[in-house]
Chains A and B, each alone.
Chain A
């Protein structure tokens, strides 16, 4: 190729900063950055670590030493801990974690060294494209409508009933298996449908947009939200409200 032409390798929007030209693809798999909150599913239990699927190019890694164990944080991981790994997290469990480091090939190393991370109990998971989740200061939101939501940077969104009291959980392992009330279930279903409609219309997801969409959808029945006409109407209303709020 003799000509001096720059050809992009992906299709997307161009971002230019002085002499740096960058083309950001419309949708890609999740690319980890240190400090991101992710929601992932355990796919494998290996010798001293778990492999977590986070919608990225390679499965993420959760080391045993990066996990909170009951009994305090500073306990040294012994051989018994290794053998009891499956007792903490099994294949198919959902966890929330934070990105600790990124390896050179793009794989991400997670940690759950805080009480707010850990195994997730009852709730609904929505999988969206990572590019639609807006980066904010906090990704754990308690919405006033009666449910809580975790907006994972990797595009996994977890909606769950707000726990009544912030109890001191044992590192987040004890899953609360009490039956969830019908009112809570309805709120969660409505939120899930709202998120799906926002994603279909390619709107950025953050707590305000989700909340406005929820309020705009209240006159409709939960199952009607997924109909294309009603979806457009609700999202249009949400967009207007957001513009008014900013302007």
Chain B
């Protein structure tokens, strides 16, 4: 889009944020009573819902059971009304499968699967409104849902996207910034140890800039962790009060 400057001279982005500033995050745990764990997150205008079932016995083919670990099964789905133009997405299309696979890799790294041999954990994520950073919102929502289900995890998994414009690394890209065509990176981090669960980029970025963009994304993920930690503590506190502990 000619004339749309993603980063102004004073350092403000299109929506008025600074380079390293995140969008407003609001999250809730335990939204569905029927599921083992559920969570809803809003990152700016991106809204994602995650539901977790498990660990439970493997349904369907018994042969897929792993004798020493749990099987993590992720499914990603995007609502037809989630983007600007209403678009019907068939269930098994490439983007959904790829996202599902990425989510699976992310959570296999974080969930302590050795504690639940021969069982299956299902994570279903649905994007209700996509305004950039959908992978990050999905991972954050799924982390909260897994915690709500009481499944032991190595650490939180916090994710954020990052881009690079005019020599500055931007954190938490919105749809406008993503559509502008610059390089963008999605990072999922385990904050306590600083280990990277998943790093994804499919654009071209000069290796000199990689360090900065990675650092911006990592810092943003740590900020997300602070917020998610607060949400979890709040939720546990409310539930304990109701139980009368």
Chain A interface (Cβ < 8 Å from any Cβ of B): 1, 7, 9-13, 25-29, 43, 51, 53, 57-59, 105-106, 199-204
Partner of B150, one of A1, A28, A51: A28
- In whole angstroms, how far apart are the Cα atoms of A105 and B116 in the complex? 7
Q: Which residues of A lie under 8 Å from residue B240 when comparing CB positions?
A: 13
CB distance from B226 to the nearest CB of A (A): 15
Q: Once the chains bind, are B152 and A9 in contact (CB under 8 Å)?
A: yes
Most chain-A CB neighbours within 10 Å: which of B116, B119, B232? B119
Partner of B57, one of A7, A13, A53: A53
Q: Which residues of A lie under 8 Å from residue B149 when comparing CB positions?
A: 27-28
B27-47 at interface with A (beta carbon < 8 Å)? 33, 36
Q: Which residues of A lie under 8 Å from residue B36 when comparing CB positions?
A: 27, 29
CB distance from A235 to the nearest CB of B (A): 10
Q: Once the chains bind, are B112 and A9 in contact (CB under 8 Å)?
A: yes
Q: Once the chains bind, are A59 and B150 in contact (CB under 8 Å)?
A: no
- A200 touching B33 in the complex, CB below 8 Å, given contacts A10-B150, A13-B236, A27-B149: yes
Q: Once the chains bind, are B116 and A12 in contact (CB under 8 Å)?
A: no
Can you list 16 A-B contacts (CB < 8 A)? Answer: A10-B147, A10-B150, A10-B153, A11-B147, A12-B150, A13-B236, A25-B152, A28-B149, A29-B150, A57-B55, A58-B56, A58-B118, A59-B57, A105-B118, A106-B116, A202-B243
CB distance from A2 to the nearest CB of B (A): 10
Given contacts A13-B236, A53-B57, 10 further A-B contacts (CB under 8 A): A9-B152, A11-B148, A11-B150, A11-B233, A11-B235, A13-B240, A26-B239, A27-B150, A57-B56, A106-B116
- A11 touching B236 in the complex, CB below 8 Å, given contacts A25-B150, A57-B116, A58-B57: yes
Q: Which residues of B lie under 8 Å from residue A26 when comparing CB positions?
A: 148, 150, 236, 239
Determine whether B87 belongs to the interface, using a CB cutoff of 8 Å to chain A. no
Q: Which residues of B lie under 8 Å from residue A28 when comparing CB positions?
A: 149-150
Q: Which residues of B lie under 8 Å from residue A59 when comparing CB positions?
A: 57
CB distance from B145 to the nearest CB of A (A): 12
CB distance from A102 to the nearest CB of B (A): 14
- In whole angstroms, how far apart are the Cα atoms of A41 and B102 in the complex? 35
Partner of B154, one of A9, A12, A53: A9
Determine whether B245 belongs to the interface, using a CB cutoff of 8 Å to chain A. yes
Determine whether B223 belongs to the interface, using a CB cutoff of 8 Å to chain A. no
Q: Once the chains bind, are A10 and B152 in contact (CB under 8 Å)?
A: yes
Q: Which residues of A lie under 8 Å from residue B239 when comparing CB positions?
A: 26, 202
- In whole angstroms, how far apart are the Cα atoms of A26 and B155 in the complex? 17
7 nearest CB pairs, A to B? A25-B150, A9-B152, A28-B150, A202-B242, A59-B57, A57-B55, A11-B147
Determine whether B20 belongs to the interface, using a CB cutoff of 8 Å to chain A. no
- In whole angstroms, how far apart are the Cα atoms of A43 and B62 in the complex? 14
- In whole angstroms, how far apart are the Cα atoms of A169 and B151 in the complex? 41
Q: Which residues of B lie under 8 Å from residue A9 when comparing CB positions?
A: 112, 152-154
Q: Which residues of B lie under 8 Å from residue A53 when comparing CB positions?
A: 57
Determine whether B117 belongs to the interface, using a CB cutoff of 8 Å to chain A. yes
- In whole angstroms, how far apart are the Cα atoms of A243 and B150 in the complex? 30
Q: Once the chains bind, are B152 and A11 in contact (CB under 8 Å)?
A: no
- In whole angstroms, how far apart are the Cα atoms of A106 and B243 in the complex? 27
- A57 touching B119 in the complex, CB below 8 Å, given contacts A10-B147, A13-B240: yes
Q: Which residues of A lie under 8 Å from residue B245 when comparing CB positions?
A: 13
Q: Once the chains bind, are A105 and B147 in contact (CB under 8 Å)?
A: no
CB distance from A194 to the nearest CB of B (A): 16
B49-95 at interface with A (beta carbon < 8 Å)? 54-57
Closest to A3 in B: B192
Closest to B242 in A: A202
Partner of B55, one of A1, A12, A29: A29
Most chain-B CB neighbours within 10 Å: which of A199, A202, A204? A202
- In whole angstroms, how far apart are the Cα atoms of A13 and B36 in the complex? 18
- A201 touching B242 in the complex, CB below 8 Å, given contacts A1-B192, A7-B155: yes
Most chain-A CB neighbours within 10 Å: which of B54, B116, B148, B243? B243
Closest to A243 in B: B244
- In whole angstroms, how far apart are the Cα atoms of A204 and B239 in the complex? 12
- In whole angstroms, how far apart are the Cα atoms of A7 and B229 in the complex? 13
CB distance from A147 to the nearest CB of B (A): 24
- In whole angstroms, how far apart are the Cα atoms of A179 and B36 in the complex? 35
CB distance from B186 to the nearest CB of A (A): 25
Closest to A105 in B: B117
CB distance from B29 to the nearest CB of A (A): 9
- In whole angstroms, how far apart are the Cα atoms of A27 and B245 in the complex? 15
CB distance from A94 to the nearest CB of B (A): 17
